[in-house]
Amino acid sequence: MYELLFWKYSEGIYLNHHEVYEALIEEQDVEGLEQLPVTVILNRISSLFSKWEKVDDNSWKNKEGKGAFQIITTPQSIRIDCYGTEGKAMDILVNALEEFKCPLYDPQVPERYDDMNE
């Protein structure tokens, strides 16, 4: 499994990314994060992956190749667990969340890919 996590800081807020990640994984509310339009984001992902089989409301699998992913949401975050998902499909997910100004935090590295990184 490869985990992708997305959230959006409130303007002027900059927190320790790994601490934010740990709080969000525990489904805690984090002061300084924006509420996300979760339903709109899920609809966007669903449209981008319309050729994939939608297993349930938050899970998709590739009918024509390898890969699957599941989305776990909180009001402040979108977590995507990828199972054998190819990099190209993960790029589509990352780009979709960038449309909502939610850059990727990659806990495997760990690094957040936003404008505030030096």
Distance CA 6, CA 54 (A): 21
pLDDT digits (tens, 9 = 90+) for 8-61: 999 999 899 999 999 999 999 999 999 999 999 999 999 999 999 999 999 999
* pLDDT reading at 114 higher than 80: yes
* pLDDT reading at 116 higher than 60: no
pTM of the complete model: 0.94
Q: Which residues contact 115 (CB under 8 A, 6 or more apart)?
A: 103
Structure tokens at 6: 């997305």
* 115 residue type, one letter: D
